[in-house]
Amino acid sequence: MKRQSRQLTMILILIAVLMGMMFYLSVHKTIPVRDWQQIREDGVLHIVSEYNSVGFYVSGDTLAGWQYDFCKYIEQRSQLKVEIALENNLETDVRKLQHNEYDIIAINIPITTAGRANMAFTNPITRNKQVLVQRKSDAVPLIRNQLDLAGKTVYVPQSSPGIVRLRNLSEEIAMPIYICEVEDYTQEQLIYLVAYQDIDYALVDKAIADNNRALFPNIDVQTDVSFMQLQSWATRRNSPELLDSLNRWLKEFQEK
C-alpha cells in the first residue's frame, strides 16, 4: 500500500513538473527573427494601414491616398507581393507586428520614447498634431483654452496615441479629463459622431480634421491639444535590414 502511495506521489510530482515546463515554454517561447532575408524568402511583405481620407481611401472605383501610393511603390521596388490589411487599433497593430503577422505599420505614428520601446520608426514622414473636434453652437461656447477640458468627456479611437496627451494634460491642469476609448472606430468616424451630435468632443490628427471641415461645416477643429510632433511608419526593432530598405524607399518616394 505504501509503495502504491509513493508511486502515485511520484506520478503527481512528474505531472506537476511537466505542466510547469509547458507553462514556462508557452510564456517564454522565442519568436523567430523575420527581417529582410526571411521576408524575401517568404515572397510576401505584410503591411497594415488604416482607412482614412488622407492616406488610404476609395476614389471612384480605385484605392488612393499617400499611404496606399507608398505601399504600391514598396511593392514595385521590393519585387515582393505586398498584402495590405486594415486595422483601427494601434495596440493590435503593434502586437501583430511583434508576432510577425505584420512587417510594417503604414500609419503616421507620433515618434515617442515609449513607442521606441516596442517599434523601430522610419525617418520622419510628416509633422502633425492632435486637435479637438467640437460643434459650432450658439448655445455652447467653443473650447479654446485647454483648461476648459476639465470635467469633459473626450472620445478617441481605442489605443490612440492621443490618450497619453490627454492623460498628461489632465495631470497638468490637476483636473480630470474623462477619456472614452471607442473600439473599432476610426478618427473620421468620431468626427461624424460629433457632427451628428452623438458625442460632443473627439481628439483626432489635425490633417484628418482639416480634411473633413468642408464635409461638415458645423464642426470646429481650431483648438490644439498637443504640440507639433514628428510622425512616421514603424517596423520591428529586430528587423534592421527591413528598416534600412524602408528608409531608402521612403527617401526615393519623397523625392519623386
Dump pLDDT digits (tens) for 75-84: 999 999 999 9
Burial class of residue 61, CB neighbours in 10 A (0-12, 13-18, 19+)? exposed
Q: How many domains does the structure of the chain reveal?
A: 2
Give me the half-sphere count of Cα atoms (radius 13 Å) on the Cβ side of residue 230.
11
Give the pLDDT band (50/70/90) at residue 12. low
Q: Which residue has the cell 524602408?
A: 246
**Does residue 25 form part of some domain?**
no
Same domain as 107, residue 42: yes
Q: pTM value?
A: 0.83
Instruction: Flag whether 31 is in a domain.
Output: no
Q: Is 211 exposed, middle or buried (0-12, 13-18, 19+ CB in 10 A)?
A: middle
Domain-embedded: residue 191:
yes
My answer on whether 113 and 78 are in the same domain is yes
Judge if 188 and 62 occupy the same domain. Answer: no
Query: Are 198 and 236 part of one and the same domain?
Result: no
Residue 131 has pLDDT above 50, yes or no: yes
Does a structural domain hold residue 211? yes
Query: pLDDT by residue (tens digit) across 194-234?
Result: 999 999 999 999 999 999 998 999 999 999 999 999 999 99
Three-class SS of residue 149? helix
Q: What is the CATH number of the domain that holds 97?
A: 3.40.190.10
Contacts of 223 by beta carbon, 8 Å cutoff, 6+ apart: 131, 132, 134, 142, 143, 144, 146
- Grid look-up 464635409 returns 215
pLDDT of residue 88: 87
Do 111 and 148 lie in one domain? The reply is no
Considering the domain boundaries, does residue 103 fall inside one? Answer: yes
Query: For 144-185, how does the pLDDT look when each residue is reduced to its tens digit (9 = 90+)?
Result: 999 999 999 999 999 898 999 999 999 999 999 999 999 889
Q: 214 is written with which cell numbers? A: 468642408
Residues 84, 147: Cα–Cα separation, whole Å = 41
- Are both 195 and 139 inside the same structural domain? yes
Statement: residue 109 has pLDDT above 50: yes
Same domain, 47 and 123: yes
Domain of residue 143 covers: 130-227
Residues paired with 120 in a beta bridge: 235
- Verify that 203 and 141 share a domain, yes or no: yes
Q: Which residues partner with 59 through β-bridges?
A: 62
Does residue 142 sit in the same domain as residue 210? yes
Q: How confident is the model at residue 28 (pLDDT cuts 50, 70, 90)?
A: very low
| Percent of the chain topping pLDDT 90 | 75
